Amino acid sequence: MWRKASGMVRETSSWKTRRQGRTEAPTAATTTTTPTSNRTRTHTTQGLIITWSQLAVVAAVAALLNSSDCQAGRAPPEPYYGSYVGEFTNFAHGIKGRIYAVDESTLFVKSFAYDGTGPDAFFWVGKTPRPSPDGYIIPYPEEYMGMDPPILQAHNGTDILLRLPMGKRIKDIRWLSVWCRRFTVDFGEVFIPTNLGVPKPRVLPEFKRLAHGLRSSNISVLDARTFYIPNLHYDGAGPDAYFWVGNGSEPNIMGIKVPNEVGSLEPLRGYQGEDIEIQLPANLTVYDIDWLAVWCVEYRHNFGHVYIPRDLDVPPALGQTKITTTTTPRPAVYSNCREILPNRLQVKWELQGEHLLVELFGRIAENQYMAFGLSGANGRPQMAQSDVVVAFYDTNARVFRAEDYFISDLSQCDGQRGACPDERIGARNDVIVVSGDRKNGVTSIRYKRLLQTNEAIYDVPIPIDREVSVIAAIGPLNARKEANAHSHTASDHNQDDIRINFGARNDHACKSSLYDVKDETGPKPWPTRKIQGVRKFRASIGPTGGKRGYTPITGVPSWGIAWYVNDLLIPEITVERGQTYEFIIEGGNDPSMPARYHPFYITDSPEGGLGQKVGLDARKQKAYAGVEYDEDGDAIPTGGGRYCEWEHQTVDRSLEIETFEEYMKTLEYKCEDGEPGYLNWTVPMDAPNQLYYQCFTHNNLGWKINVVDMGASGGSSVGVNLIVFIGLVATRLLLTGRVLA
């Protein structure tokens, strides 16, 4: 049991930091009764009566201030309003004010003055060399009634916050003006310095997990006084626990309470994955502290903490921080809901100013994602060139995630093209996770995104004045926690054109909750095919067989396509050491077409994708065939050839077909012009017992090669598997007229 700290209960008091130049001691004479004694203990000096409790507060404050002496230069000078931009140059109507960049999208005008007599004046910004009609309004006040922003009123020394609209950032503008729109007159202007550095929020690690189930996702310092704590978990069982800040190498008793998300100093309640925002007490900033903790005052016990870096450059706390948390008041029921995938995926949404708030509900497993966004072509569901959000639960980091994706091609992301997170191709993730939950087999993730971002290439503006075609899908995550290809069934992606007007109200077509849907068992997987005693193989591409094929066989997600060897879906191949084998390869040879470029190679990696790997990841696997190395040690694929693929004649019917042989009858074999590639491989005598045939450019397309000693595979006898192989060749002859060379 933790030793109880008798009488050492700290209270908050009025005080100022060293940066304000003075401190204030308590002035009222009070007494405190300790819980372990009936006697009242006070300390009196020259007529001033101070309790031990108050002495503890004074000591805690003194510790913070003394620590500040050791941290000279850590905090910006006071008063701090952000990066200085300049002063208004007045041309008419008495324009005055000093302008600061608070953060990437907010300006602060200190002591703004204007006589208010202009007939059609607004704060006006643009990127032309000088203020001109080619600009746009910054509404002030930000919240207003009606369709049009209000005309600027008179001001005399007013402090004003200006938030740039529609996702614009300070780096996108060259000037701020007080502009008369009717007469195209510039009343006053200031220019934004080139390469102006602006303060930015700082992401910290999660809470260190020490006691009472305390954990969170990465904590953010939004401004000099505000912390954002997402996915907060705490069992609420601490008898006297608070958010707690202070100085020193570890959390200690010389700390200060921080009010909870509703401004209360009551002991903390329990949290179950909530997103909250807390603010430091007045006159205290993140520059004054070394850590934020959850601390039990009564037992002097640290439940968990996060350290505050000394190199912070975060926005000042001027009231500009506005985020949506799970404790922010919001409507209990969305006015809009659509069921995109029957009994599997619902989307609810509502407009919040310049943002679209979306909540996805999906019946998905922990190794799956749900995706939703704007179709690549209006009028039909098209994945290529689409802008989507991929949402899932990250089982490694134990957080809910929503990632901004751009799908340039229907292929796995190779770092440049394919189904790629924006951040992986040099852009940014413009999606903000608000909250997440998982219960009764349903994962719900709430996120928000600006209607219009600043990325013209990878982000598509979300219209609110008309219907737009949307797409949705459910599929598996790969080892990188990125989206792999989904199955081509009606339950995994929308096959019909679905249109939504995101500006509409009461578009509520969901008839029931996904929580009420009964879970259905999946189909029986097809058994693994095996090939042994064969020296010649043909490798081409084909579908994965949905929930009966690749993933049930291998236990890992697929990209939606897989190797077909001798017309069998990822068979296990047995080879003998010292023997030579021939592979006829039809996986594509055009690197500019990533969806049809799958060089064949043999490796000790169960994942493959050597072409995607760099550094240590590349050195972790060894290639045994299909790869050469240049003078710099870079891997070059040699297992290319024309592209041939088994394609669905109509749609994927794997769910309704119980045998692979019958499934093959629903496919047709198509080849591009050109010649196949050839790979001759003599199995090394020191080859390990387990190898894999894989795709050089993408992960998880192949399966096992069992390596045995010479003669151990049973010679040329293939038993039942050879009969299956001959039968499939006959099937191909009937379907395509092609003969296996």
Reported as a single tens digit per residue, the pLDDT across 567-610 is 999 999 999 999 999 999 999 999 888 889 999 999 999 999 99
**Helix and strand element counts for the chain (H, E):** 5, 45
183 and 208 assigned to the same domain: no
Based on the fold, state whether residues 299 and 347 are members of the same structural domain.
no
Q: Does residue 356 share a domain with residue 208? A: no
Q: Is the pLDDT of residue 37 over 60?
A: no
pLDDT band at 228 (very low <50, low <70, confident <90, very high): very high
Compute CA distances 372 → 328, 392, 422, 490, 539, whole Å: 25, 12, 15, 15, 34
pLDDT tens digit sequence for 74-113: 677 778 899 999 999 999 999 999 999 999 889 999 999 9
Host H or E run for residue 50: strand 48-51
Per-residue pLDDT of 654-670, as tens digits, reads 988 999 999 999 999 99
SS3 112: strand
- pLDDT tens figures, 463-500: 998 999 999 999 999 888 999 888 878 788 999 999 99
Q: What is the pLDDT of residues 265-292, one digit of tens each?
A: 999 998 988 889 999 998 899 999 999 9
Residue 195 burial class via C-beta count within 10 angstroms: exposed 0-12, middle 13-18, buried 19 and up: exposed
Instruction: Please report, as a single letter, which amino acid is at residue 623.
Output: A
Query: Would you give the DSSP letter of residue 175?
Result: E
Let me know whether 355 and 281 are in one domain: no
In Å, what is the CA distance from 517 to each residue of 342, 511, 512?
Answer: 10, 12, 9
pLDDT at 50: 46
Q: Which two tokens stand for residue 123?
A: 């704060």
What pLDDT digit, counting tens, does each position of 390-430 carry?
A: 999 987 776 789 999 999 888 888 888 889 999 898 888 88
Q: Please check the confidence at residue 741 and state whether its pLDDT lies above 50.
A: no
Q: How far apart are CA 335 and CA 711, in angstroms?
A: 70
Average pLDDT over the chain reads 83
Query: 135 and 175: one domain?
Result: yes
Backbone angles phi, psi at 21, to 5 degrees: 90, -5
∠ CA 127-130-132 to the nearest 5 degrees? Answer: 80
Residue 49 has what pLDDT?
43
Pick the last residue of a domain from 147, 169, 191: 191
- Domain range for 103 is 83-191
Q: Is 134 part of a structural domain of the chain?
A: yes
Co-location of 491 and 623 in the same domain: no
Do 543 and 467 share a structural domain? no
Query: What CATH number has the domain bearing residue 603?
Result: 2.60.40
What residues does 540 pair with on adjacent strands?
564, 586
What gap in Å lies between CA 497 and CA 151, rounded to an integer?
43
Confidence bin at 518 (pLDDT 50/70/90): low
Pairwise CA distance, residues 5 & 253, whole Å: 10
% of the chain residues with pLDDT over 70 = 82
The tens digit of pLDDT for each residue in 40-68 reads 333 333 344 444 445 555 555 555 545 44
| Res 734 pLDDT > 80 | no
* pLDDT, average across residues 731-741: 44
pLDDT tens, residue by residue, 671-681: 999 999 999 99
The token pair at 370 is 């749900």
Strand order from edge to edge, sheet including 600-603: 530-531, 572-576, 704-708, 690-695, 600-603, 623-625
The SS3 call for residue 607 is coil
Residue 577 maps to a domain: yes
Q: What is the pTM of this model?
A: 0.42
Sort strands 241-246 and 291-296 into parallel, antiparallel or unpaired: antiparallel
Residues 614 and 679 in one domain: yes
The H or E element spanning position 159 is strand 155-163
Of the pLDDT bands very low, low, confident and very high (cuts 50, 70, 90), residue 322 is: low
Q: What is the helix (H) or strand (E) element at residue 163, kind and residue range?
A: strand 155-163
* CA pair distance 195, 218, nearest whole angstrom: 29
How is residue 699 annotated by DSSP? B
Instruction: Using pLDDT thresholds of 50, 70 and 90, give the confidence band for residue 723.
Output: very low
What pLDDT score does 645 carry?
95
Q: Are residues 212 and 177 in the same domain?
A: no
pLDDT above 90 as % of the chain:
56
Q: What is the CATH number of the domain that holds 421?
A: 2.60.40.1190
- Bond from prior residue into 599 cis (ω within 30 degrees of 0): no
Domain count, the chain: 4
